Structure 1
Amino acid sequence: MGVPAAEQTLAILRHLASQASPLQASAIARSLELPRSTTYHLLNTLIEFGFVVHYPEQRVYGLGVGAYELGSGYARQEPLQRLARRPVAALADRCGNSAHLSVLLGRDVVYVIEERAAGRPLLITEVGVRLPAATTASGRAMLASLPHPQVRALYADREAFSLEGPGAPSSLSQLRRMLVDVRANGFAAEHGEVTEGLASVAMPVLDGTGYPVASVAVTYPQAEQSPELVERLVGEVRTTTRMLSRRLGG
């Protein structure tokens, strides 16, 4: 026997997830055949727990960070690790540099797979390590693939940038400019922001909806950097992320 309030709440979340952009409450109520009063009550509850964001200027509602974290939680678990471990290990072997896979959790990245290349510098990005997303190539790759309202919800005020590391943007406008460059280049990079002397290139792994469930990165010594090396590493990372995206239905 179902619980009507739970069924209605899940219906709202599924409906918002299936849309290309946020919706007005009246449109949600009409599509799901719910009373308007019930719709507003459920939306306010979802907002309180972070699963829905209200954009008062447009009078629309969209998915919040809580909903994304549920998806990230699934991606971080065994299905993604089973799919990605061998491809990431093969990437490290082909590149001769350490490779890792991470997921986005709020404004942080969490590293879930690390494959160290023999004889290369040790990294701080061990499994379970959590770093500010806007500081890392991995985080920038995923942020650049998020819908604009999602990025705005994650970085809603100045305080959101106070915990980012050196080299990271200090305002939403700076972050947007950085993400525009990432999308234009086709990959994200960082140069010594995480560990002095080390640089990284990263690209997102996209699911069937185009959502960034993870990112794959390769880290190499800055002293070895050259246009030819970066081009080769980006090509190898692209091969790996496309393979993983296909396996996830992307």
Structure 2
Amino acid sequence: MSDIPAARNALRVLKFVAAQSGPVRATTLSRELDIPRSSTYQLIKVMQDEGFLVHFPEERAYGLSPLVSEVGSASMRAGRLERLARPLLVKLVKRTGLPVVGHVSVLQGTDVVYVAKEAAQRAPTLVTDIGVHLPAHLTATGRSILAHFSPKQVRALYPARDSLFHRAEAGPSTLRELDALLEETRSRGWAVESGEITKDHASVAVAALDHNGYPAASIGLTFRVTAVDIHLWRQLGAAAAITAGALSMRLRGRI
């Protein structure tokens, strides 16, 4: 049987990283797998380019990408996403200088599930704790993700639904209204909701894209309407977009 050392070593790297409790440094991979350091870095570069490994800059280490969905449970994948996103979320909340709550969520069916959260001082107490599910069409993070889908894809998520669930008697009540709202989101560049989850609270959000251009997660900021002037919402949307872009790069293994 013929042997292809590069392919074999790439699989060994995947197996080794999958077996660890956290990200692994390149020097560790080289030492433990007995692969020359130069070859190790070449393998890592290719595996990042193909979306199988992601870089954790703060730890100077590498971990499995969400692309490797067959490795580990859904909760483990959420843990990897949380680890990638949390440092960025902390910086985002601090950079706003406002009493906001930052969060990261993912789409699960027609719900968003919150996987990371960071609150500034004097920020409001919210229902969006880690693990909480909320209807995607009512949340800014959910809308930012749905905005990357076509109307046909949205309807595939909401089959035979003449009316949409309301939480606070606000938000789109039909798929046609949701389509219009998502088109506004695409034009604006960031999603927004106000009073549709919690009265007198609003949120802005932007989706982070993986190497296939799929909205793998969303970065959101929530705040009391009375605490943040409406003229600052655009700035918060722009700040969320910068952070979502940084997370996209991490998901693609570019940083």
TM-score range, shorter chain: 0.5 to 0.7
Q: How much is the aligned-residue C-alpha RMSD, in angstroms?
A: 2.3
Deviation at 1:75, TM superposition (A): 8.7
Correspondence for 2:220: 217
Distance in 2 (CA, whole Å) between partners of 1:116 and 1:217 is 12
**After the TM superposition, which residues 19-34 of structure 1 pair with which residues of structure 2 at under 5 Å, given as runs?**
none
What is aligned with 1:177? 180
- The answer to whether residue 139 in structure 2 is matched with residue 156 in structure 1 is no
In the alignment, is residue 126 of structure 1 matched against residue 129 of structure 2? yes
Q: CA, structure 1 residues 236+213, in 2 after alignment: closer, same or farther (shift >3 Å)?
A: same
Q: Which residue of 1 aligns with 2:229?
A: 226
Q: Secondary structure of the equivalent of 1:158? A: coil
d(CA) in 1 for partners of 2:162, 2:110: 12
Q: Is the 8 A contact 1:109 1:131 kept in 2?
A: yes
Alignment-derived partner of residue 110 in structure 1? 113
Alignment of 1:49-64 (within 5 A): none
CA distance in 2, matches of 1:190, 1:212: 19
Q: How far is 1:149 from its partner?
A: 2.8
Counterpart residue identity of residue 106, structure 2: V
> Residues 165, 197 of structure 1: CA spacing in aligned structure 2 closer, same or farther, 3 A cutoff?
closer
Q: Which amino acid aligns with 2:88?
A: P
Query: Equivalents in 1 of 2:227, 2:234: separation in Å?
Result: 13
Query: 8 Å contact 1:75–1:214 — kept in the other structure?
Result: no
* AA aligned opposite 1:132: P
**Using a 3 Å threshold, how does the CA distance of structure 1 residues 186 and 75 change in structure 2: closer, same or farther?**
farther
Q: What is the CA distance between 1:235 and its match in structure 2?
A: 1.7
Q: Find the residue that maps to 2:171 and give its secondary structure.
A: coil
Q: Measure the CA separation in 2 of the matches of 1:170 and 1:193.
A: 12
TM-score normalised over the length of structure 2: 0.65
Tell me how many residue pairs correspond in the alignment.
181
Match of 2:201 among 198, 206, 222: 198
Which SS does the other structure have where 2:154 is aligned? helix
Q: Is the 8 A contact 1:203 1:238 kept in 2?
A: yes
Deviations 1:160-188 (A, max 9, x none): 72466532322221111111011011110
Determine the C-alpha separation between the residues in 2 that align with 1:75 and 1:145. Answer: 25
1: CA distance, partners of 2:77 / 2:162: 27
Rounded Cα–Cα distance in structure 2 between residues aligned with 1:179 and 1:172? 10
Point out where structure 2 has 5 or more consecutive residues left out of the alignment.
Answer: 1-68
- Cα distance in 1 between the residues matched to 2:204 and 2:85: 17
Which segment drifts farther, 218-227 or 149-158? 218-227
Instruction: Kindly indicate whether structure 1 or structure 2 has the higher relative contact order, using CA contacts under 8 Å at least 6 residues apart.
Output: 2
Higher helix share: 1
1:92 CA drift (Å): 1.2
Contact 2:168-2:199 within 8 A present in 1 as well: no
Match of 1:100 in 2: 103
Q: Which ranges of structure 1 fall in alignment gaps of 5 or more residues?
A: 1-69
Amino acid at match of 1:236: A
Which residue number corresponds to residue 60 of structure 2? none
Deviation at 1:74, TM superposition (A): 7.9
TM-score (norm 1): 0.67
CA distance in 1, matches of 2:165, 2:221: 27
Amino acid paired to 2:249: R
Contact 1:135 1:166 in 2 (8 A): no
Q: State the percentage of identical aligned residues.
A: 40
